[in-house]
Every structure is written in C-alpha cells, then in structure tokens.
C-alpha cells in the first residue's frame, strides 16, 4: 500500500469535505492509503448524507462525518482533537456570489481560515495544507482578495505557531474541470439550445482535473517545510476552444466579463517571481522568512526563476490541445 503522503495510520480531516475536491480527495485516500481516521467536516447534512451513500463508515470504518462550519471556532476545536493532517478546502468560491455577499464571504474565507489556523495550533495538528486559487494572485474580485488574505494567514501561521510546531503551506492552482460551478457542466447543459454564452473569445484559463489537483495536494504533505505556496505546472486553454470541444455544432454568444472577472489569470505574479523556485512539474513560492532557507531541501534543490518571471494563463508555454482536453473531459 502506497504511503507517499505519509497518510497511513494518520488522522486526516478535510474542511469542506463534501465539495468537489473533498469527495475526490476522500476517494483517492481510501483507494491509496490506510488512515486511522478520515474526517469529512462540512456544514451541509444533505451533502453528507448523499456522500455517505458512496463512502459509508460500515465499508470504511475510518470515516467520520462531522457537521460544522469553519466560522465556528469552538466546533473546530472539538473536531480537530487528535487530528494530525488537515486539508482546508472550505470556502465560498463563486465570484458573482462573493461580489453580492461580501461580508458572508469574508466570514468564511478569512475569519474561517483564521479559525482553522488557531484550532490547528491549539490542538497540535502536525501539517495543514490550504487550497488557494489563481484568483488570489493580483486579485481583481472579492473572492480573490479573501483567498489572498487566507494565503497570507496560513503562511504567517508558521511564525504564529511558535513552539507548537504546526506547519502550514498553501497549494494554488487554476480552474478545475467538472467541479461545482465549472463552466463545463453549463456548456453541456446548454448544448441542446445550439448557443453557448462566451464571456470573451480571448479569455484564457489554467485547467487541472480534480484527480490531478488531489494528487498534487497529497504530494505536498511530503514536500512541505512550512510557509511555501506550491503551484503545479498546468496547461492553459481558451474558453472558446473549450466550447468548441464540448459542443462543436453550437454558435457562440458574447456576453462580456462578469463583475470582478479577469480576461486572463495569473498563478505567480512578477513580484512573487523573485521568491519562486522551479522544479520539474511545479513551482514553489518561498515565504519572506529569514529562517526558511534552512528548512528542508526546497530552497536548496529548486532552480530560481529568471528575473521578471510570471506565470499567466495567456503566456503559458503549455496549451491544451483538443485531444488532451477530450481525454480530461472523458473522466468527469
């Protein structure tokens, strides 16, 4: 049995565990590892009920389903007792919803992240990985701004933890094919109408499959020293090309950018590039800690990126061909 992420025999908790990422993460962990406990923490009892039809504690005795909200620090303290690894996936992530409900988004994405940080430190959690987004790099909308704040909280958490030694790192990647809120289900749904709405024919995005995202996050548990932002190397594609692959017979209607939406996304800004190291299949953005260089091997084995480097969806050197995209779509 594989143990590349060191999960065998560990107690693992996933916040937002009934979301798209959480479900796939549970599937992968149950298939590849033997955790002592695998705790799904989320606020929606119906989603937990539906998820338990596939992953139930009779077949998988390690599973625990806990109702709770990351806004509730007391509940997190109770849930985190005895937990060693935490994957923080809970967030309000829909851009228009965040723009219309800013205070609620701040409560979940920022205050909730602070609560996860404090509960992890106070309960002696060993490692925490928080999920981020390309929208957190040079944010243009409230969702991206709240995720940038969350990123900053988790990176600084390595200093804040003091002698308790809880390690925090962040994984940042782009659009996830087939996740809730993805444009893929929308295009499939509208295919019969003969017309697909396209925000802008020039728009580009980074793309990653759910399974790729999950496997990368689990790998990062073994690579992290604490304080890094891990960025996988992933391909780009134009939204109009995605529409052509899903529904080649449809015409396109330009509807314009939504509030807070970018034409292109960035995973690593030029400013972050000054602290970025390159590896075969990923980048690492180092924190501004004077002590970080002596931690682990990441700062020693990675190659510093060139001056002026940035990682953007429109200047990416890896582009999804229609054939590669069809292969990814066949698995969702």
Contact (Cβ atoms closer than 8 angstroms) between residue 112 and residue 103? no
- Choosing from 10, 24, 93, 135, the catalytic residue is 135
Q: Are 268 and 137 in contact (CB under 8 A)?
A: yes
* Whole-angstrom distance, CA of residue 72 vs CA of residue 75: 5
DSSP result, 73-106: HHHHHHHTTT--EEEE------HHHHHH-HHHHH
The rounded distance, in Å, linking the Cα atoms of 230 and 168 is 12
Helix/strand number for the chain, H first, E second: 13, 17
- Catalytic residue status for 107: no
Note the maximum CA span of the chain.
61
| SS3 of residue 128 by DSSP | strand
Strand-pairing partners, residue 268, are 311
Cβ burial, residue 107 (10 Å; 0-12/13-18/19+): middle
Contact by Cβ (8 Å): 150, 199: no
- Quickly list H helices, 142-263: 142-160, 183-190, 210-223, 239-246
Spatial contact of 230 and 169, defined as CB atoms under 8 Å apart: yes
- How far apart CA 271 and CA 266 sit, in angstroms, is 12
Distance CA 121, CA 158 (A): 10
Query: Quick one: tokens of 326?
Result: 């069809």
Residue numbers annotated as active site:
135
């Amino acid at each position: 049995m594989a143990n590349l992420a060191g999960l065998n025999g560990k107690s693992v908790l996933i916040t937002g565990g009934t979301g798209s990422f959480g479900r796939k993460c549970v599937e992968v962990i149950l298939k590849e590892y033997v955790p002592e406990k695998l705790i799904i923490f989320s606020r929606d009892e119906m989603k937990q009920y539906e998820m338990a039809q596939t992953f139930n504690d009779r077949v998988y005795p390690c599973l625990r389903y806990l109702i709770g909200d990351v806004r509730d620090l007391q509940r997190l303290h109770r849930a985190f007792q005895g937990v060693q690894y935490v994957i923080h996936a809970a967030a309000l992530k829909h851009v228009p919803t965040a723009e219309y409900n800013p205070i609620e988004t701040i409560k979940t994405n920022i205050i909730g992240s602070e609560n996860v940080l404090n509960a992890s430190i106070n309960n002696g959690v060993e490692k925490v990985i928080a999920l981020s987004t390309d929208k957190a790099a040079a944010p243009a909308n409230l969702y991206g701004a709240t995720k940038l704040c969350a990123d900053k909280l988790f990176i600084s958490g390595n200093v804040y933890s003091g002698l308790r030694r809880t390690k925090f790192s962040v994984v940042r990647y782009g659009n996830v094919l087939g996740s809730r809120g993805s444009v893929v289900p929308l295009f499939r749904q509208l295919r019969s109408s003969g017309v697909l709405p396209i925000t802008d024919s020039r728009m580009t995005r980074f793309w990653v499959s759910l399974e790729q995202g999950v496997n990368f996050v689990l790998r990062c548990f073994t690579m992290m020293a604490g304080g890094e932002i891990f960025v996988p190397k992933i391909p780009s594609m134009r939204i109009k090309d995605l529409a052509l692959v899903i529904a080649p017979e449809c015409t396109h209607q330009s509807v314009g950018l939504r509030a807070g939406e970018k034409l292109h996304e960035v995973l690593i800004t030029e400013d972050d590039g000054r602290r970025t190291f390159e590896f075969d299949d990923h980048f690492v953005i180092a924190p501004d800690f004077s002590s970080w260089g002596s931690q682990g091997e990441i700062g020693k084995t990675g190659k510093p990126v060139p001056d002026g480097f940035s990682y953007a969806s429109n200047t990416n050197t890896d582009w999804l061909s229609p054939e590669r995209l069809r292969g990814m779509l066949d698995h969702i």
